[in-house]
Structure 1
Amino acid sequence: MASTAARTNLEIVQEMYSAFNDGDVETVLGHMDPDIEWTEPEGSRYAGTYRGPDAVTENVFAPVMEDMDPFAAVPERFVDGGDTIVVLGTDRGTVRSSGESLEAPFAHVCDFRDGRLVRFVDYTDTAAWQQAIGA
């Protein structure tokens, strides 16, 4: 396997989505800068800006996995801007408590520096999330 420095940011993002959807959160966290800034949209149950991988895990990854089973962020298109990668796709899953299905389009903006994810901004259909989860 090539080292992180030798890989493109696009390849890293693709690996992160694949790992996340396979339940390998450690690989995802391993590509984050220690000072990552991660933003979830207002109107979302997970809304806020979180700093650092631990805060992302506590406020986004863990609650999503508690709420949904299964869950996947399915990428459909990658727009490669070098240090900025935009991922267009669909969040899909089933709400644990109700069995309600979720299908919500997203755009994720991923900013990189030196092969590390330093900023992530999620733009998603918060109404679809609210309808599915009831929040």
Structure 2
Amino acid sequence: MNELYEKLLHETYLLTGQGELEKFKTYLADDASWTEATGFPYAGTYVGPDEIVKNVHERLGSEWNNYSAEDISYGFNGNKVFVYGKYSGEFKATGKSFIADFVHVYEFNSDNKVQKFTQIVDSQTVVEATEK
């Protein structure tokens, strides 16, 4: 399963980076829970593919230039996957750029869909990029 989970998640990073949000939604369970970290600009928990895309991924695509979430390494514990990576981008409103470490924790359901997502991130560098 580890290889399958890594393949699926890597595809989600590629799809969101390319703005293929409708395809990205097919990787999520109908009742998927997506939690953006406290302190992050899009902090909160969103439920369902439409809410996740509307409140997180559409905003990343429209409010940032060259926003990227690079998946670097993976760890596995049953149906839970831990992804270490780096965010980067330039906030359009300020022209400021950032780079930040992240860990994403995913939980898959029995249909191999993302059931739960939790973001852990150094949000300070991201917030600084959004401040005028």
Report the Cα distance in structure 1 between the residues aligned to 2:92 and 2:131, rounded to whole angstroms: 12
Q: How does 1:40-51 map to 2 (within 5 A)?
A: 40-51=36-47
**In the alignment, which residue of structure 2 is the partner of 1:122?**
119
Moved more, 58-67 or 108-117: 58-67
Residue-pair matches, total: 130
Point out where structure 1 has 5 or more consecutive residues left out of the alignment.
Answer: 1-6
Aligned AA (2:36)? E
1:26-61: CA deviations, max 9, x gaps? 221110001000001111221111100111112111
Deviating above 4 A after TM superposition, structure 1's stretches of 4 or more consecutive aligned residues are none
CA distance in 2, matches of 1:95, 1:49: 22
Amino acid at match of 1:30: T
Partner residue in 2 for 1:89: 85
Query: Which among 4, 14, 18 is matched to residue 18 of structure 1?
Result: 14
Q: Percent identity?
A: 27
Is the 1:93–1:102 contact (alpha carbons within 8 Å) kept by the matching residues of 2? Answer: yes
Match of 1:31 in 2: 27
- For normalisation by structure 2, the TM-score amounts to 0.91
The answer to whether the Cα contact below 8 Å between 1:10 and 1:80 also exists between their aligned partners in 2 is no
Equivalent-residue separation in structure 1 for 2:101 and 2:48 (angstroms): 25
1:99 correspondence with 2:95: yes
Q: CA deviation at 1:80?
A: 2.7
Following the alignment from structure 1 to structure 2, what is the Cα–Cα distance between the partners of residues 44 and 21? 19
Measure, in 2, the Cα distance between the counterparts of 1:62 and 1:27.
Answer: 13
2:40 is paired with a residue whose SS is coil
**Structure 2 residues not aligned, in runs of 5+:** none
